[in-house]
Amino acid sequence: MLNYSTSEENYIKAIFHLQQADGNVTTNELAAELKTKPASVTDMMKKLKTKKLVHYRAYHGFRLSADGTKLALIIIRRHRLWEFFLAEKLKFSWEEVHAVAEDLEHVSSKKLIDKLDEFLSFPRFDPHGDPIPDSNGKIETSKQVCLQDLPLNKLAMVSHVSDQSKEMLELLGHKKIGIGTKLEVKRKFNFDNSLEIKIRQPRRTSPDQPPINISEQLSNNIFAKYDE
Amino acid sequence: MLNYSTSEENYIKAIFHLQQADGNVTTNELAAELKTKPASVTDMMKKLKTKKLVHYRAYHGFRLSADGTKLALIIIRRHRLWEFFLAEKLKFSWEEVHAVAEDLEHVSSKKLIDKLDEFLSFPRFDPHGDPIPDSNGKIETSKQVCLQDLPLNKLAMVSHVSDQSKEMLELLGHKKIGIGTKLEVKRKFNFDNSLEIKIRQPRRTSPDQPPINISEQLSNNIFAKYDE
DNA sequence: AAAATAATTTAGTTTTGTCTAAAAATATTT
DNA sequence: AAATATTTTTAGACAAAACTAAATTATTTT
C-alpha cells in the first residue's frame, strides 16, 4: 500500500462520507464539505484519478474506485480507533475527541493501528456509535435507523446520536440513554409522533423500569440497530 | 503558542540535538543530519530567524533562541511520551518505537500530550532511557556518563544505550543489562580499558552475583547516571 | 430551442519546501 | 599573504496544494 498526503486522505474520506448519502459526488458539494474552493477540488480530482482512487469524468462528478474505498476504510479505521482511545483511555469528552483524531488519523503505520486495536480489545464502535472497520477493512453494515423508524416491540441498541449539543447531552443524561443502551419502542402516538419506550436494564439492577416518553424531535436524533 | 509545520519542527529538533554536543551548529552538519542539502538549510534558517526561533548570522552557524529551545522541548516531550506509550502499552520493541514516534510527535494538541502523560503515570524516561520533559518543558539534566567515565564503587543506574544493533542487544541480553539496571564499577584494567562491574539485583533475587567483565567498546556505549 | 443561470474547469499566481548550479565568503595551505 | 579548498549563500526552478478570475459546459427557464 502506497503512502498518501494528508490532503489526499482528507479528500478521500470526505468523498466516502458524501457518497453514503448520494452515490455520485459533485465538485461543489465536496468543496463545501472541505471548506475549500471548487477549483481546488477539480485539481485534486485529476490527481486522484491518475492515482486510480476515484472514477471521474469532467463535469460529471466522481465516486471512489475500489482502491479509493479501501483507502477510505483504512483512514476511517484509524480515526475511529483513535477516537475510542481518546475517550476510553485518556478521558476526553465526546465533543473533543473528533478534532484530535482528525490529526492522528494521518499517521499511517499499519502496525501502530493494529496494535492499538488490540490494546483497546478490538472495539466495534467509536464513542459516537459509528462502527470501526476491522484490519481487513470490513465494516459493520447493519443498518441504523432513528427511533421513529424502529418497529414496535423490537429490541434495539442505541448506536449513534447525531446532535451532540450540551442541551442534547443533558437530556440524554436525564433519560439515562447513551450509546449501547438497549431499548424497545412500545407505542407510537400519532398525534405528536412521540414515542413510549422501555429501557432494558443492562444487568437487571432494578427489576423493571416504567416506560418513558420521547418527543419526536429527540427520537429523530437517536439512532439504533436491531437484528432482522 | 503558534503552530509550526512538520518540516520546521524537524529542523528545530535536529538543531537541539546537534547543539548538545557542539554549542554552535553549522549548515553542513544540519544538512547531513536531516539528509537534505545545505541550500535548503539556509532557506529554512532564514525563515526560522524571522520567526525568532534561532539566532543566525550568515556564514556563522546558528543556535536555538529561548523560544526555539522551548519549542524543541515540547517536540521532544511529545516524541518521548509516544515512545513510552508504544513500548509500554502497545508492546512495540525498542527499535520500532522511534520511527512511529517520529510521526506522532507532530500532532500538536497540548491537551492530548498532557492527558497521555497522565495516562502513562508521568513517566520520567523513555524506553531508550532519555528523560522526558515535563509539561512546563523542564527536563532532567542529571548528567549521563558512559561506564568508562563512572567513578569506582559508585552506584549508578543504566540510563541510555547508544548503539541498538541486534548484536549489541544480544550482548546486553546475555549480560542481563538494560535500562534501569543498577551497577557499580569495581575495577578498571588499564591494559585494555576493560571494566569489572557488579550488578545490584533489583529485589535481591539471588544474594550476590559475581562481578562481570565489560570490554572497552561495550562500556563506551552504555550510559549511566549517579548522584553526586 | 434559445437565453439565462448555475456548475465546473482552465489559466495563471502564491506559498512552502525542496533542488541544482553558480557565486561569494571563510578557512586552510603553502 | 597569496593560492587553494571548503563551506555557505544566492539565484532560478520545480512540485504540491491552494487561490482568483475568466472561460467553458451543463442545466433550467422561458
ipTM of the modeled complex? 0.76
Coil, helix or strand at residue A33: helix
Q: What share of chain A is helix, strand, coil (3-state, %, to 5)?
A: 45, 20, 40
| Chain A residue with minimum CA distance to B82 | A112
User: Which residues of A, range 146-175, sit inside 8 Å of B by Cβ?
Assistant: none
The domains of chain A are located at 6-64, 144-225
Identify the CATH number of the domain defined by range A144-225: 2.30.30.90
Cβ atoms A186, A197 nearer than 8 A: yes
Burial of B41 (0-12, 13-18, 19+ CB in 10 A): buried
Q: pLDDT digit string (tens) for A134-183?
A: 999 999 876 778 898 888 888 888 888 887 777 888 888 888 888 878 89
Query: What is the distance in angstroms measured between the alpha-carbon CA of A15 and the sugar C1' of D18?
Result: 19
Return phi, psi of residue A134, to 5°.
Answer: -80, 180
Residue A4 clears pLDDT 80, i.e. is over it: yes
**Summary count for chain B: helices (H), strands (E):** 8, 8
Q: What is the pLDDT of residue B112?
A: 98
For A48, residues 6+ apart whose C-beta sits below 8 A from its C-beta are A8, A11, A12, A54, A56, A62, A68
Residue A204 clears pLDDT 70, i.e. is over it: no
Chain A interface disruption, residue of B103, B117, B120, most A CBs within 10 A: B103
- B5 secondary structure, DSSP code: -
Q: What is the pLDDT of residue A1?
A: 66
B112 touches chain A (CB under 8 A): yes
Q: What Cα–Cα distance (Å) separates residue B21 from each residue in B64, B119, B125?
A: 14, 33, 20
Q: What angle do CA A168, A172, A173 make, to 5 degrees?
A: 115
A204 touches chain B (CB under 8 A): no
Mapping DSSP onto H, E and C, the string for B150-182 reads CCCCCCEEEEEECCCCHHHHHHHHHHCCCCCCE
Q: What is the pLDDT of residue B150?
A: 87
Assigned CATH class of B6-64: mainly alpha
Q: What is the pLDDT of residue B79?
A: 98
Tell me the mean pLDDT in the region A210-226: 88
- Measure CB to CB from residue B89 to each of A91, A99, A119 and give the nearest one: A119
Q: pLDDT digit string (tens) for A73-104?
A: 999 999 999 999 999 999 999 889 999 999 99
Q: What angle do CA A106, B80, B216 make, to 5 degrees?
A: 130
**Average pLDDT of every residue of chain A:** 90
Q: What is the pLDDT of residue A162?
A: 80
Q: What angle do CA B72, B76, B77 make, to 5 degrees?
A: 115
Q: What Cα–Cα distance (Å) separates residue A167 from each residue in A172, A219, B9?
A: 9, 15, 40
Task: Quote the cell numbers at residue B174.
Answer: 546475555
Residue contact A116–B86, C-beta within 8 A? no
Query: What is the distance in angstroms measured between the alpha-carbon CA of B141 and the sugar C1' of C17?
Result: 34
Task: Quote the cell numbers at residue B115.
Answer: 492527558
Return phi, psi of residue B200, to 5°.
Answer: -80, 120
CA dist B7 and B56 (Å) reads: 18
Q: What is the pLDDT of residue A228?
A: 63
CA dist B132 and B140 (Å) reads: 7
Is nucleic acid strand C under 7 Å from A6's C-beta? no
Positions in chain B whose pLDDT score sits under 50: none
Q: What is the pLDDT of residue A225?
A: 84
List of chain A residues whose C-beta atoms are within 8 Å of the C-beta of residue B119: 89-90
Q: What share of chain B is helix, strand, coil (3-state, %, to 5)?
A: 45, 15, 40
Biggest alpha carbon–alpha carbon distance for chain A: 62
Cβ atoms A144, A113 nearer than 8 A: no
Return phi, psi of residue B155, to 5°.
Answer: -70, 130
Using the Cα atoms of residue B35, residue B40, residue B46 and residue B48 in order, give the sign of their dihedral: negative
Return phi, psi of residue B122, to 5°.
Answer: 50, 60
Cβ atoms B100, A112 nearer than 8 A: yes
Nearest CA to A130 among A223, A58, A207?
A: A223
B115 touches chain A (CB under 8 A): yes
For A81, residues 6+ apart whose C-beta sits below 8 A from its C-beta are A113, A116, A117, A120, A123, A126, A132
Query: What is the distance in angstroms measured between the alpha-carbon CA of B61 and the sugar C1' of D6?
Result: 15
Minimum CA–C1' distance nucleotide for A6 = D17
Smallest CA–C1' distance to D25, residue: A59
Residue A128 clears pLDDT 90, i.e. is over it: no
- A53 secondary structure, DSSP code: S
